[in-house]
A and B are shown apart, each in its own frame.
Chain A
Amino acid sequence: MSDSVLLFLVVVLGASVTLVPISARLGLGSVIGYLTAGLIIGPQGLGLIKNPEEVLHLAEFGVVLLLFLIGLELNPKRLWSLRQSIFGLGLLQVLLTSALISGSLILIGWDWRMAMVAGMGLSMSSTAIAMQLIEEQGLRSHPAGQKGFAVLLFQDLAVIPILISVSFLGTKVSEGTETSMATQIVSSLLAIGGIVVVGRYLTRPVFRWITGARVRELSVAFSLLIVFGISFLMYSVGLSMALGAFLAGVILAESEYRHELEANIEPFKGLLLGLFFLAVGMGVQINLIVDRPLELFGYLFGFLLLKISILYGLGIIFRMDKRHILLFAFLLSQGGEFAFVLFGQALQASAIDQDAAALLNGVVTLSMLTTPLFLIAYQKLLAFRQEAEGRAADTIEEEGHSVIIAGFGRMGQIVARLLNLGGFKSTVIDHNPEHIDRVRRFGYKAYYGDASQMGILEAAGIKHIKLLVITIDHQETVNRLVEEVQRLYPHVLIAARARDRVHAYQLMDKGVRHFERETFGSALNLGQTALRLMGIPSFQALRTAQRFRNYDLDLIEKLYPLHKDESQVISQTREARDQLERLFVQDAVTLEEDEHKGWG
Chain B
Amino acid sequence: MDKVNSILVILAHPARSRSRVNSCMREAVENLAGLTFVDLYEEYPEFLIDVKREQTRLLEHQLLVFQHPFYWYSSPPLLKEWLDVVLEAGFAYGEGGTKLRGLDFLQVISTGAPAEAYQAQGYHGFTVDELLRPFQATARLCGWNYHEPILVQGARALDESYLQQRAKLYRETLMKYLSEGSLALKGSAIHRS
Contacts and interface: CB of A to CB of B under 8 A. Distances in A.
Do A and B interact with each other, yes or no?
Answer: yes
Interface string A571-600: 000000000000000000000001011111
Contacts of B21: 599-600
A600 B155 contact: yes
Contact of B41 (A539, A599, A600): A539
Interface stretch (B8-16, B94-102, B123-131, B176-184): B8-16
**From B15, B18, B41, B71, residue with most partner A Cβ within 10 Å:** B15
Nearest to B70: A600
Interface in B73-117: 110, 112
Give the size category of A's interface with B.
10 to 19
B6 interface: no
Interface string A537-562: 11111100000000000000000000
Nearest to A528: B45
B45 A598 contact: no
A598 B15 contact: yes
A599 B112 contact: yes
Contact of B18 (A538, A541, A596): A596
Contacts of B69: 598-600
A538 B15 contact: no
Nearest to B152: A600
A598 B19 contact: yes
Contact of A537 (B17, B46, B112): B17
Given A598-B14, A600-B13, A600-B155, A542 B19 contact: no
Given A599-B69, A600-B22, A600-B112, A594 B15 contact: yes
Contacts of B22: 600
B156 interface: yes
Nearest to A596: B15
**From B22, B45, B156, residue with most partner A Cβ within 10 Å:** B45
B45 A538 contact: yes
Interface in A501-548: 537-542
Given A539-B14, A540-B17, A599 B42 contact: no
Given A599-B156, A600-B112, A600-B155, A538 B41 contact: yes
Contacts of A541: 45
Contacts of B155: 599-600
A181 B155 CA distance: 95
Contacts of B112: 599-600
B54 interface: no
Contacts of B18: 596-599
Interface string A209-238: 000000000000000000000000000000
B68 to A, nearest CB: 8
A240 to B, nearest CB: 61
A540 B15 contact: yes
Interface in B140-157: 155-156
B43 interface: yes
A382 to B, nearest CB: 45
Nearest to A535: B17
B14 A596 contact: yes
Given A599-B156, A600-B22, A542 B15 contact: no
B43 A600 contact: no
Contacts of A537: 16-17, 41-42
B115 to A, nearest CB: 16
A600 B45 contact: no
Nearest to A545: B45
A591 to B, nearest CB: 16
A541 B15 CA distance: 11
Contacts of B19: 598-600
Given A596-B14, A599-B156, A539 B42 contact: yes
Interface in A225-275: none
Interface string A167-189: 00000000000000000000000
Nearest to B21: A600
Contacts of A598: 13-15, 18-19, 69
A600 B112 CA distance: 7
A547 B47 CA distance: 17
Contact of B46 (A542, A596, A597): A542
**From A538, A597, A600, residue with most partner B Cβ within 10 Å:** A600
Contacts of B70: 600
Nearest to B76: A596
A566 B21 CA distance: 54
Nearest to A541: B45
Contacts of B71: 600
A600 to B, nearest CB: 3
B97 to A, nearest CB: 30
**From A594, A597, A598, A599, residue with most partner B Cβ within 10 Å:** A599
A594 B45 CA distance: 14
A525 to B, nearest CB: 11
B46 A600 contact: no
A359 B155 CA distance: 93
B39 to A, nearest CB: 8
A599 B15 CA distance: 9
A537 B15 CA distance: 8
A597 B17 CA distance: 11
A394 to B, nearest CB: 45
Interface string B151-172: 0000110000000000000000
Contacts of A597: 15, 18
Nearest to B22: A600
Interface in B1-51: 13-22, 41-43, 45-46
A547 to B, nearest CB: 13
Contacts of A596: 14-15, 18
A597 B20 CA distance: 13
Nearest to B18: A598
Nearest to B41: A539
Contacts of B13: 598, 600
Contacts of B110: 600
A539 B14 CA distance: 7
A279 to B, nearest CB: 62
A538 B156 contact: no
Contacts of A538: 41-43, 45
A594 B20 CA distance: 17
**From A539, A541, A597, residue with most partner B Cβ within 10 Å:** A539
Nearest to A543: B45
A542 B44 CA distance: 10
A539 B17 CA distance: 11
Interface of B: 13-22, 41-43, 45-46, 69-71, 110, 112, 155-156
List the 10 shortest-distance A-B pairs measured between CB atoms, nearest first.
A600-B69, A598-B15, A598-B18, A596-B15, A539-B41, A539-B45, A538-B45, A542-B45, A596-B14, A538-B42
Given A598-B14, A599-B20, A600-B21, 15 more contacts: A537-B17, A538-B43, A539-B42, A540-B15, A540-B17, A594-B15, A598-B13, A598-B18, A598-B69, A599-B69, A599-B112, A600-B22, A600-B110, A600-B112, A600-B155
7 contacts: A538-B41, A538-B43, A539-B42, A539-B45, A597-B18, A598-B18, A599-B20
